[in-house]
A = this chain, B = another copy of it.
């Protein structure tokens, strides 16, 4: 439903949320998220422009979250790469419709409202706190197992991390 860019942005942010204190080099991020490196570079520029990630160039450089993972909603990530807005007035500019949307645009608005609610209420941190689920992007069957991200071993979601 969402664009590939949106999917990739969400993957990248979920991946950075796994190791919030570390700068993750773009090649590592590309490998972990399974996103083509050139495509990922463009997505990271959008996320950076939106103030969601911070980067450092050069040796030892990479990207990390610009804020704590519980302070970034999935909706912010989506909105950094695509428009997700309620419809406030007739998109065709028909004067007599104005804010009294026709049934077509009410339906589209209803869908937008639902997506905004679903993604607006979930933070990146929420993705990492369900012990019954595997971690995003991680190859592990045991949620309590230690997993390897960016070369570091970190505890899985079931380990009280």
Contact = CB atoms under 8 A, between A and B. Distances in A.
Nearest to A2: B108
Contact of A96 (B94, B128, B141): B141
A interface, over-half SS: loop
Interface residues of A, number: 51
A37 B113 CA distance: 30
B108 A10 contact: yes
Contacts of A154: none
Given A10-B104, A107-B74, A126-B103, A134 B96 contact: yes
Interface of A: 1-3, 7, 10-11, 14, 33-34, 74, 82-85, 91-97, 100-108, 110-112, 114-115, 118-119, 122, 126-128, 130, 133-141
18 contacts: A1-B83, A1-B111, A2-B108, A7-B91, A14-B104, A74-B107, A94-B139, A97-B134, A100-B134, A102-B127, A102-B137, A102-B138, A103-B133, A104-B137, A105-B136, A111-B114, A111-B119, A114-B115
